[in-house]
A and B are shown apart, each in its own frame.
Chain A
C-alpha cells in the first residue's frame, strides 16, 4: 500500500521538480555551486585566512598559550633571522633545481613518446610513466633511502644532493605527463611545415615546439615546484641534517609548540605559490593541469 502511494506521488513531485529546474537556470546553478563553494570557498579559504590571522599572534613564553594580540614580531623574526633567510632561499633553490632537472629530463622523454613512438607503443609508454605515480610516495622516497645508504646500491649518503635527486625522481611523472599531452596536441603538420621551410631540429624546437608546449611545461612546473617547496618528509628520509621551510614549520608546531610562528613561516611558500600561479595564469597553464 505504502509503496503504491509513494510511486504514485513521486513521479508528480519529480516532474514538478524537473520542470521547475528546467525553467530556473539560476536555481540550477546555485544548487550546483552551493556545496563545492561552501566547502572550498568558505571552509578551505576560511581556514587559510584563519591561519594567516594566527601568524600575527604570538605565544606566551611561559604557558605556551596563544596570545591573541596583533604583532609583527613573527614576521620581523622571519625577515631578520639569518637562519630563516638561509632556509627559505635553500628551499626555493631546491624547488627550482628540481623543476629544472625534471624539465630537462622530461622534455626529451615526452617528445620521444609523443612524436617518435608508434600509437601502440605510445599507449604502453604512458602506462609505464603513470605506473610509478600510483606507487606510494613514501615507498619511492624510501627506495632512494635504501639505495643511497652507505652500504646501498649507490652509497652516496644523505644530504642536500640526495634530497634534490629524490625529489626530482618523485615528481618526474608530473612533468612528463602534461608535456606529453601538450606535444600530442601539437599537430605534426606544424613540424613538417617548419621542416619544409628549412628549419632544422633545434630551430624547430625553439620557434615552434617550445612556444606551443610552454603552457604544458608550466603546468608541470606548478606540480614540481609546489610539491618540492612544501616537502619535509623526503628531507627527513634522505636529507640527513638538511632543513627546508617545511621542516621549520613542522618543528614549530611539534617540538616548539609555536603555532603563530609556524603560521608565519607557512605564509612564505603560500605567497611564493600565489605569485607563481598568478604569473602563469595568463599562459593558460591552469587549463593544462
Chain B
C-alpha cells in the first residue's frame, strides 16, 4: 500500500488520540472514587478508601445488584433459546419471508429504547393486565437480547457448513444425535459469546427497564440513576461506577478466551 510516511503517522496519532479520549473519562471516575472531597473538586485534595466502605455497606445497592443479575440471567436464557432457533431456521432453510426475520430480530435494538419501553409497558399494563415486576423486565430485556445470540450463531452456522453434519448422518447418526455430538459442540463458543453479550446488554439497560419495572423493582442502572442527582450520594455512586469499570474486565477476558480457544476463528 502506498501511503506516505506522513499519512501513516497521522493515522497512528489519530488512533492513539482516539483511545486516549476513550479511556481518560474512565480513569477520572476511577481516580475520583478515592477522592476525599465529596464534590470531586479537581485536582483531588486527598485520597481515601472511605467511599468504597460506604458502598459495600449499602443494602439498597446490594439488592439492586442482585435484581440485575436475576434479570440478566433470565433474559440471557430466553435469548439463547430464541436466538439459536431463529438462526437455524434462517441459515438452514429457504422459506417465504426469510429476509424479514433478520429485520424483525434487529428491530428491538434498532428502534429507540423508549419506543420498545412504552410499547411493552403499554401491552403488559393495558392490554394483558400483567403487574409490572421482575418478570416483565426479563421479558423486555429478552426481546432486545435475542439479536446478539442470533448474530453469533448465524455467523457460526454459515462458517460451519454442512459437511460434518452430513458425514455424521452418513455414519448413521440420527438428527438428534448429530445435533448433540456434532452441531452443538461446534456452536458452543458462539453461544457463549452471544450469551455473554446478551447478559451485558441486559445488565446495563436502563430505558426499557424504567418502563417495564414495577415500583418495587430496582436494577443497578436504575439505582445509579436515582442516586445520581443526590449530592450526598455522589461518592457512593462514583464507587459503583468505578467498580463497574473494573468488573468490565471479566467479560472482556472471557470473550477473549472464547475467541482465542476457538480453532475456527484463526
B-contacting residues of A (Cβ < 8 Å)? 14-15, 17-19, 21-22, 25, 28-29, 32-37, 39-41, 43-48, 50-51, 54, 66, 105-106, 108-109, 111-113, 115-116, 125, 127-140, 142-147, 149, 151-153, 169, 172-173, 176, 188, 191-192, 195, 200-201, 204, 222, 226-227, 229-233, 237, 245-246, 249-250, 253, 259, 262-263, 266, 269-270, 273, 277, 281, 286, 289
Contact = CB atoms under 8 A, between A and B. Distances in A.
A142 B237 contact: yes
Given A36-B85, A116-B8, A136 B204 contact: yes
B171 interface: no
Q: Which 7 A-B pairs have the closest CB atoms?
A: A230-B112, A18-B174, A134-B248, A195-B2, A143-B25, A108-B14, A36-B86
Contacts of A253: 118, 211
Is the interface on chain B under 10, 10 to 19, 20 to 34, or 35 or more residues? 35 or more
B122 A33 contact: no
Nearest to B21: A169
Interface string B88-107: 11000101000001111111
A230 to B, nearest CB: 2
Contact of A147 (B28, B85, B174, B248): B28
Contacts of A286: 102-103, 106
B146 interface: yes
Contact of A22 (B11, B19, B174, B224): B174
Contacts of B255: 130
Contact of A139 (B29, B93, B122): B29
A277 B204 CA distance: 25
Describe B's contact surface by its main secondary structure.
helix
B176 A18 contact: yes
A50 B122 contact: yes
Contact of B112 (A46, A146, A226): A226
A181 to B, nearest CB: 11
A140 B4 CA distance: 36
Given A36-B82, A40-B143, A143-B29, A222 B122 contact: no
Contacts, number: 270
Contact of A33 (B86, B119, B142): B86
B123 A134 contact: no
A191 B1 contact: yes
A138 B2 contact: no
Nearest to B93: A29
A14 B174 CA distance: 9
A113 B15 CA distance: 8
B72 to A, nearest CB: 12
A89 B119 CA distance: 23
B221 A136 contact: yes
16 contacts: A17-B176, A32-B88, A48-B115, A50-B123, A105-B21, A116-B11, A136-B224, A140-B25, A146-B32, A169-B21, A237-B228, A266-B112, A266-B118, A273-B111, A286-B103, A289-B106
Nearest to B2: A195
Contacts of B113: 230-231
A184 to B, nearest CB: 12
Nearest to B205: A137
Name, among A66, A116, A192, the residue most crowded by chain B CB atoms within 10 Å (CB to CB).
A116
Given A46-B123, A127-B256, A289-B106, 19 more contacts: A18-B174, A35-B81, A37-B86, A39-B142, A44-B108, A51-B118, A105-B18, A112-B15, A139-B244, A146-B238, A147-B25, A153-B42, A172-B22, A191-B1, A195-B1, A263-B118, A263-B122, A270-B115, A286-B103
A131 B248 contact: yes
A127 B240 CA distance: 23
B11 A112 contact: yes
Nearest to A91: B112
A269 B40 CA distance: 37
A51 B244 contact: no
A152 to B, nearest CB: 6
Given A35-B81, A44-B143, A131-B249, A229 B174 contact: no
A113 B11 CA distance: 9
Nearest to A287: B102
B264 interface: no
Contacts of A44: 104, 107-108, 116, 119-120, 143
Given A201-B3, A273-B110, A108 B11 contact: yes
Contact of A25 (B4, B18, B93, B225): B93
Name, among A17, A40, A113, A169, the residue most crowded by chain B CB atoms within 10 Å (CB to CB).
A40
Interface in B158-204: 174-177, 200, 203-204
Contact of A266 (B40, B85, B104, B115): B115
